[in-house]
């Protein structure tokens, strides 16, 4: 592998982890099987009604050669919350973490060396049993595959240019925008495609009722920095409660910033010193510009910024270079 060349593309690894719920509606034992296509019943609830969830986390190689993941129990708990909402049976936290460890070990030759990238871990949970009426599936499948990814965002090179979307919404109150529902993304494909065709990196969505307050980018959470205060909109159902988001709030607090969850209006974001996005895939990505209708505003990025300090800290913890005072990392080997 030329680890410096890989970015964010499909690279099939050796094994997947798979576990099916038994007839009493519980997960008991899973197994590793060779990576390949899987069979699915045409009547399955996931194909017909989108009864499915996904998760995303990463394994990193430490300097000493060891392997670690970042807060996998949070992913397990978030999957359980989503499963409750979609009436799916979910694996326990122990089953989830055990599966993550197994699948990473089985694919460790695909884990980039220290500092060259990570092994992306994608757990899925879906209704695989057949249904005819509109109802949840009698059987669920939990599956994890992995995919190596490169350092696309190495050194915060990927400054973002965002377009505020004022017509389409990503999530509505009472909907499923607050869980990692597999159907959260297809409704934003068209909107993001159009924004990308105009040269933007992504779309920043507003609340669906007043179209006044920022919510999040299509696949990551958003923060603003103003002086010593770091704010992000509260995750009250229409925003995905990101694990990176939660970790950054805690790190910012430890570094002496005032970190708050509060509504952020479009006017407020234009007055920010810095704006950045957070997510497992992007880590922390600084936002260079935001455009809303005819107005475009630029923000500070690069050396010496708050975004950079937060990025160095979280990346240091994830790679094992900074002491993990909170017990966030889980060793795989």
Ligand X SMILES: *Cc1c(COP(=O)(O)O)cnc(C)c1O
Please list the active-site residues: 180
Nearer to ligand X, 45 or 247 (CB): 247
* Residue 318 engages ligand X in binding (rule: CB under 6 A): no
- C-alpha distances (whole Å) from 212 to each of 165, 207, 267, 269 are 11, 7, 9, 11
Strands 31-34 vs 274-279: parallel, antiparallel or unpaired: unpaired
DSSP code of residue 181: B
Q: At what angle do helices 243-254 and 72-86 cross, to 10 degrees?
A: 140
> Residue 237 and residue 280: Cα distance in Å, rounded?
20
* Residue 245 engages ligand X in binding (rule: CB under 6 A): yes
105 three-class SS: helix
The tokens describing 311, both together, are 């990025």
* Residue 214 engages ligand X in binding (rule: CB under 6 A): no
Q: Residue 248 CB, nearest distance to ligand X (Å)?
A: 9
Residue from the set 202, 215, 216, 274 that interacts with ligand X by CB under 6 A = 216
Nearer to ligand X, 131 or 310 (CB): 310
* Residue 280 engages ligand X in binding (rule: CB under 6 A): yes
Count Cβ atoms below 10 Å from residue 186 Cβ, excluding itself: 9
- Residue span binding ligand X (CB under 6 A) among the ranges 28-36, 113-121, 125-133, 239-247: 239-247
Is the CB of residue 268 less than 8 Å from the CB of residue 262?
Answer: no
Q: Please name which of 244, 222, 220 lies closest in space to residue 315, comparing C-alpha atoms.
A: 244
Residue from the set 53, 104, 220, 290 that interacts with ligand X by CB under 6 A = 220
* Residue 136 engages ligand X in binding (rule: CB under 6 A): no
> 167 CB contacts (<8 Å, ≥6 apart)?
none
Torsion angle, alpha carbons of 230, 233, 235, 239, to 10: -120
Q: At what angle do helices 72-86 and 93-106 cross, to 10 degrees?
A: 120
Residue from the set 86, 89, 240, 249 that interacts with ligand X by CB under 6 A = 240
Nearer to ligand X, 219 or 305 (CB): 219
Q: How many CA atoms lie within 13 A of 275 on its CB side?
A: 27
Residue from the set 180, 202, 222, 311 that interacts with ligand X by CB under 6 A = 180
* Residue 283 engages ligand X in binding (rule: CB under 6 A): no
Nearer to ligand X, 46 or 220 (CB): 220
Q: Residue 244 CB, nearest distance to ligand X (Å)?
A: 3
Q: Residue 36 CB, nearest distance to ligand X (Å)?
A: 26
Q: Residue 9 CB, nearest distance to ligand X (Å)?
A: 19
Nearer to ligand X, 220 or 259 (CB): 220
Terminal Cα-to-Cα distance of the chain (whole angstroms): 22
Nearer to ligand X, 141 or 247 (CB): 247
Q: Please name which of 8, 123, 126, 118 lies closest in space to residue 75, comparing C-alpha atoms.
A: 123
Q: Residue 242 CB, nearest distance to ligand X (Å)?
A: 3
Residue from the set 117, 127, 279, 286 that interacts with ligand X by CB under 6 A = 279
Q: Residue 250 CB, nearest distance to ligand X (Å)?
A: 13
Residue from the set 69, 176, 192, 244 that interacts with ligand X by CB under 6 A = 244
Nearer to ligand X, 61 or 180 (CB): 180
Q: Residue 148 CB, nearest distance to ligand X (Å)?
A: 17
The tokens describing 324, both together, are 């993990």
Residue from the set 72, 112, 242, 320 that interacts with ligand X by CB under 6 A = 242
The tokens describing 5, both together, are 């060349």
Contacts to ligand X by CB under 6 A = 56, 180, 184, 216, 219-221, 240, 242-245, 278-280
């Amino acid at each position: 592998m030329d680890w410096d060349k890989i970015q964010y593309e499909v690279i099939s690894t050796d094994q997947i982890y798979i576990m099916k719920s038994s007839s009493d509606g519980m997960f008991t034992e899973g197994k590793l099987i060779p990576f390949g296509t899987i069979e699915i019943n045409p009547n399955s609830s996931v194909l017909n009604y989108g009864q499915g969830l996904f998760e995303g986390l990463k394994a990193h190689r430490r300097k000493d050669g060891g392997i670690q993941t970042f807060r996998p129990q949070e992913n397990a708990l978030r999957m359980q919350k989503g499963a409750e909402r979609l009436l799916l049976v979910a694996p326990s936290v122990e089953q989830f973490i055990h599966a993550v460890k197994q699948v990473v070990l089985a694919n460790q030759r695909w884990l980039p060396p220290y500092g060259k990238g990570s092994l992306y871990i994608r757990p899925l949970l879906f209704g695989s049993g057949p249904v005819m009426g509109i109802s949840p599936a009698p059987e669920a499948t939990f599956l994890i595959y992995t995919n190596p990814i490169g350092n696309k965002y190495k050194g915060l090179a990927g400054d973002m240019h965002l377009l505020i979307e004022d017509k389409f919404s990503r999530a509505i109150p009472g909907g499923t925008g607050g869980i990692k529902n597999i159907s959260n993304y297809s409704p934003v494909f068209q909107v993001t495609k159009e924004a990308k065709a105009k040269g933007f990196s992504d779309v920043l969505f507003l609340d669906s009722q007043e179209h006044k307050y920022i919510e999040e980018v299509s696949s990551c959470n958003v923060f603003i920095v103003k002086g010593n205060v770091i704010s992000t909109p509260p995750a009250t159902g229409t925003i995905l409660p990101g694990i990176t988001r939660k970790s950054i709030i805690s790190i910012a607090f430890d570094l002496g910033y005032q970190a708050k969850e509060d509504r952020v209006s479009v006017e407020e974001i234009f007055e920010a010193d810095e704006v950045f996005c957070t997510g497992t895939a992007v880590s922390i990505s600084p936002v260079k510009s935001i455009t809303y209708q005819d107005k475009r505003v630029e923000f500070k990025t690069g050396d010496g910024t708050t975004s950079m300090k937060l990025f160095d800290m979280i990346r240091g913890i994830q790679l094992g270079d900074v002491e993990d005072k909170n017990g966030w990392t889980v060793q795989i080997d």
